[in-house]
């Protein structure tokens, strides 16, 4: 695991093949099904006009039996602790994704390039996004990352605007706009791996990532788990989203964080992020 820890630190991403057993994946499937049945107020469909199903739901479900069993009985948290090399690990939240497109369609849309940390006022090196695929994913449709990008700029978040993947989420001049990576792929060190159930793709909150559309008639289910370590802390951050082109429910949604992160946003500047994470999974 030491080689993976060094790669995680240097590259901001590791792909670990076949690390979860069939029993482990059964626990992941159970957590996924629970979340799919209980998406809460933060379940939403991206690109609803596309004719394909691109659904996501996030939250902190660590108190639910299905998630508690997954976190306690699989090696996922131990792997994150090994990548952090030292110190305790806290569970922050999960995000479920479901992509499916009918046969004869154009497939589901790519996920825009972005950094998860762009949506959260925090800093620190011990952050880990654990992406778990529940279906076979070919290299053509795999999630992609820009290797080493966790050491570079933190960009404005994307609005998931179908007309412009780089459209900024926050109205804040100090956050640089996302580069159009898809139009200039040769300028970036893009890596990806085909994956199967049992594999883990783990990357830093600050790592640029995107892609992962599905072909016509295809389906992709994935569960993302986010963890933090003991060096992460609250920073000043633009709370106000750019609502100039948003109305109604969308404007209300982007004006506030998910309810499970209220405690996170309420932390004083400089406070350890762990202060808002009730579930300490290791250490």
Cα–Cα distances (Å) from 154 to 123, 150, 201, in that order, read: 10, 8, 21
Instruction: Look at the chain and report how many structural domains it folds into.
Output: 1
Distance, in Å, from the CA atom of 100 to the CA atom of 212, rounded to the nearest integer, reads 12
Which tokens go with 106?
A: 């154009």
Partners of 14 in the beta sheet?
A: 202
**CA-derived radius of gyration, the chain:** 18
Instruction: Kindly give the parts of the chain with pLDDT less than 70.
Output: 48-51, 104, 238-258
Q: Are 177 and 155 in contact (CB under 8 A)?
A: yes
The CATH number of whichever domain residue 141 belongs to comes to 2.60.120.620
Q: Is 138 left (phi over 0), alpha (psi -120 to 50) or beta?
A: beta
CA-nearest of 32, 20, 8 to 219 is: 32
pTM (predicted TM-score)? 0.91
pLDDT of residue 119: 87
Q: Which residues contact 10 (CB under 8 A, 6 or more apart)?
A: 148
Partners of 123 in the beta sheet?
A: 233
pLDDT of residue 213: 79
CA-nearest of 189, 174, 231, 227 to 205 is: 227
Distance, in Å, from the CA atom of 108 to the CA atom of 180, rounded to the nearest integer, reads 20
Over residues 94-108, the pLDDT tens digits come to: 999 998 877 767 777
Domain, as residue range, for 209: 2-282
Cα–Cα distances (Å) from 252 to 110, 255, 257, in that order, read: 25, 5, 10
pLDDT of residue 250: 46
DSSP H or E run through 4? helix 2-11
Over residues 52-92, the pLDDT tens digits come to: 777 889 999 999 999 999 999 999 999 999 999 999 999 99
């Amino acid at each position: 695991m030491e080689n993976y820890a060094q790669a995680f630190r240097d590259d901001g991403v590791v792909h670990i093949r076949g690390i979860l057993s069939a029993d482990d994946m059964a626990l992941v499937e159970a957590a996924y099904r629970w979340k799919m049945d209980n998406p809460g107020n933060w379940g939403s469909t991206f690109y609803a006009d596309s004719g394909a199903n691109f659904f996501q739901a996030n939250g902190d479900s660590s108190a639910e039996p299905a998630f508690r069993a997954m976190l306690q009985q699989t090696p996922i948290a131990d792997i994150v602790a090994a990548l952090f090399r030292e110190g305790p690990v806290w569970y922050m939240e999960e995000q479920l994704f479901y992509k499916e497109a009918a046969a004869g369609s154009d497939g589901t849309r790519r996920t825009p390039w972005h950094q998860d940390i762009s949506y959260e006022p925090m800093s620190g090196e011990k952050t880990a996004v654990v992406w778990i695929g529940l279906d076979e994913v070919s290299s053509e449709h795999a999630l992609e990352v820009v290797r080493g990008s966790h050491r570079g700029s933190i960009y404005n978040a994307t609005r998931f605007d179908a007309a412009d993947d780089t459209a900024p989420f926050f109205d804040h001049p100090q956050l640089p706009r996302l580069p159009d990576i898809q139009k200039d792929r040769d300028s970036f060190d893009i890596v990806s791996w085909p994956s199967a159930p049992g594999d883990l793709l783990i990357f830093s909150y600050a790592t640029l990532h995107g892609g992962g559309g599905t072909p016509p008639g295809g389906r992709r289910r994935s569960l993302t788990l986010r963890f933090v370590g003991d060096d992460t802390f609250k920073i000043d951050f633009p709370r106000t989203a750019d609502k100039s082109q948003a109305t109604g429910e969308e404007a209300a949604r982007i004006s506030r964080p998910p309810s499970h992160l209220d405690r996170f946003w309420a932390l004083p500047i400089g406070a350890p992020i762990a202060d808002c994470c009730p579930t300490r999974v290791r250490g």
